[in-house]
Copies of this chain bind each other. A is one copy, B any other.
Amino acid sequence: MTDFPFSFVLPQPNVIPSRVDNHIVRNLSSLKGQFLDQDTYNEMLSKDDSLIYEVYEVKRPEIEGEFLMGISIVHPGKVGKEFYMTKGHYHTVIDTAEIYYCMRGEGFMVMETPEGETCVEPLSPGSVLYVPPRWAHRSICTSRQEDLVTFFAYPGNAGHDYGTIEKLGFRKLVLDGEKGIEIVDNPRFG
C-alpha cells in the first residue's frame, strides 16, 4: 500500500486577541448589493450564507483621545471574480484617520474620498497602512487559502458610516482576472 503524504497543523501564533469585548460576524447576506456579479451572489446565498469576515473588537470609551481597536479577519473566497471583502465605510466624524497593521495573509485596502479620489494599497504581513482622514476604506482578501488578518486602531469618536458606500459600492473593484489580479473601475459609477 502506498504510503501517502499527510499534513498536520503546527500551532500558529493565535490571531484572536487575548482580550475581546465584542465579536462581529459578517455573512454573505450582510453584503447584499455590494458584489458586482449579483446572479452569482444570489445563487451562492440560496445555498449557504457563508462567513465572509469577522472582527474582534477591544472596546474603549467612544470619545476623542481614546482609540478603538481590534483584529479583522477576512476569509478567502470569491463571489464570481470578486474577492471576499468587508462592507467598508467612512467614519461618521470624517476627519479621523485609521491605522492597519497586516499580520497574516494578503490583500488590498480599497479607498476613496467623497470627491472621488481613489487609492488601492496592497496588504501583506508586516505592512502598516495609514488611512488618512476623509478616506472610506474596505479590506479585501486575495490569499487563496489564508485569512487576511489585520490589527486596526481608530479614534474613539470616529463612528461608522456604512450607508454612503452601500449605495453603489466603491469606485474600484479588485477581481481575479485571467492573468492575475485586476483593479478595475466599478461600472456602477457612470
Contacts and interface: CB of A to CB of B under 8 A. Distances in A.
A122 interface: no
Contact of A155 (B13, B93, B130, B155): B155
Nearest to A131: B67
Interface string A63-78: 0111101000000000
Contacts of A97: 60, 65-67
A52 to B, nearest CB: 25
Contacts of A64: 64, 95
Contacts of A66: 97, 132-133
Given A64-B64, A126-B13, A99 B153 contact: yes
Interface residues of A, number: 23
Nearest to A98: B67
9 contacts: A13-B126, A17-B128, A60-B132, A64-B64, A65-B93, A65-B97, A66-B97, A67-B97, A155-B155
Interface of A: 13, 17, 58, 60, 64-67, 69, 93, 95-97, 99, 101, 126, 128, 130, 132-133, 151, 153, 155
